[in-house]
Amino acid sequence: MPEPVTPVSFPSAFLWGAATSAYQIEGAAREGGRTPSIWDTFSHTPGRTAGGDTGDVAVDHYHRYREDVALMARLGLNAYRFSVSWPRVQPTGRGPAVQVGLDFYRRLVDDLLAAGIKPAVTLYHWDLPQELEDAGGWPERDTAHRFAEYAQIVGEALGDRVEQWITLNEPWCSAFLGYASGVHAPGRTEPVASLRAAHHLNLAHGLATTALRSVLPKHASIALSLNSSVVRTVTQDPADLVAGRQIDDLANGIFHGPILHGAYPGTLFESTASLTDWSYVHDGDLRAIHQPLDALGLNYYTPTLVSASGPDTAGHQADGHGASEHSPWPGADGVTFHQTPGERTEMGWTVDPTGLHELIMRYARQAPGLALYVTENGAAFDDKPDQDGRVHDPERVAYLHGHLSAVHRAVADGADVRGYYLWSLMDNFEWGYGYEKRFGAVYVDYATLERTPKSSAQWYGQAARSGALPPAGTP
């Protein structure tokens, strides 16, 4: 007889969640006093998004949030990570809040709590008020101070009901896709501005953390979510290792250096010396950035494979972050990005759960004692309903089983991982890709906005309810 399979079980307090962001799902772009964000402007600019798609309606979560909360409850989720739309709460990025905007999030939080679902609030998921971009955006120091003011407003409004707070989501994307390669809003292609933006995003995180501490209860948890790259090199040749270190500095060290350790990597300064002298780092900035955290969010999709450029390589084009003539890696012109081998998602990203285990263990070593959450992990596949209206996505089920198994291995190896947030709860506006890429566990018919849980939603819900992973072939 075959040996019985030991179920992959998680700690009883483990959070089983899903994640979304405001611009990708809310819609109601002009209701309740909301003004344009940089993504409204970007998506309405011809040629910026696939099909000219925008988030004007998205999946209409603003009006359908009760339906969506009920759906999460039926699936058995016990946590939900969402972002607050800055221009819905503080339309110009300055001054008092619009209460009708805050009221939407108050109602959402109340419904989540009533359903037994723990809310996790992300304050910034890329929707900078357009008026702040008109004043210079993240490359300007003042934006960091405006963000701290906004953080305090939301903290005061929701702090009595929300315990988990995330300041920034993926500041790397905000800085380098927004200001260097231009594939994300605001679509600028200015390498020096992107480095300035990275520093001011770090400063914004630190100032917002201090502001939140001043208004939140002592038991509140403050974190940020990094899309730290798992950087691997083609060979162990010294030139490839230098290339790997350069990308690791730009992807990871530029954020976790000052945030976790109070200093930027010296090698980062060296590799970008031809672009900037970093004089925008003022006295006291690193102290302001290096605030104690309660947790760290890790977003992971696929590893990064690099080498030193040679006569037969093509530069940065295969880095997986969208097509642009401009690199999101300032100062790294001598680095080539390679496609990693293996099965790929609709994004062209390799499915490799070992990278998630590697990422978790890196931060377990770098920040011992800091609670870790996987705040995004998921995959886009070409999901379609069958003739009966059901949506079977066995590829996503296999993806989730593999990556959650990697999380379990990390826990067994001593990492303090306390939760997992599937990206995403439902299909939505996928930034520059418009509505072409479906990451959701719930299928959305964009014509009717009807929600249909896919096989992966049923599988994940079973895992959430039992605290253990069903076999990958279980619907």
Distance, CA of 407 to CA of 152 (rounded, Å): 33
Report the run of H or E that residue 441 belongs to, with start and end.
none
SS3 assignment, position 305: strand
Cβ neighbours around 187 below 10 Å, total: 19
> Which residues have CB under 8 Å from 422's CB, separation 6+?
17, 18, 19, 377, 378, 400, 441, 460
Return the number of other C-beta atoms located less than 10 Å from residue 329's C-beta: 23
Beta bridge partners of 422: 18, 377
Burial of 382 (0-12, 13-18, 19+ CB in 10 A): exposed
Q: Which residues contact 438 (CB under 8 A, 6 or more apart)?
A: 346, 380, 381, 382, 383, 427, 430
Asked whether 167 and 224 are in contact (CB, 8 A), the reply is yes
Instruction: Tell me which amino acid residue 349 is.
Output: W
- CA 215 to chain CA centroid, Å, is 25
Indicate which residues carry an active-site annotation: 170, 376
- Between the CA atoms of 389, 393, 397 and 402, what dihedral angle is there, to the nearest 10 degrees? -170
**Burial bucket for residue 221 (CB in 10 Å: 0-12, 13-18, 19+):** middle
Torsion of CA 416, 245, 311, 355, to 10 degrees: 0
Provide the token pair at 114: 């009533």
DSSP code of residue 4: P
End-to-end CA distance of the chain: 26
CA 455 to chain CA centroid, Å, is: 24
Neighbours of 392 (CB within 10 A): 15
Q: Is 358 exposed, middle or buried (0-12, 13-18, 19+ CB in 10 A)?
A: middle
φ, ψ at 366 (rounded to 5°): -70, -35
Which residues on neighbouring strands pair with residue 222, listed in sequence order? Answer: 165
- Whole-angstrom Cα distance, residue 407 to residue 440? 20
Q: 195: which 2 tokens?
A: 């480095």
- Quick one: DSSP state of residue 304? E
Q: Which of 456, 462, 365, 378 is nearest to 416 (CA)?
A: 365
| Token pair belonging to 471 | 């076999």
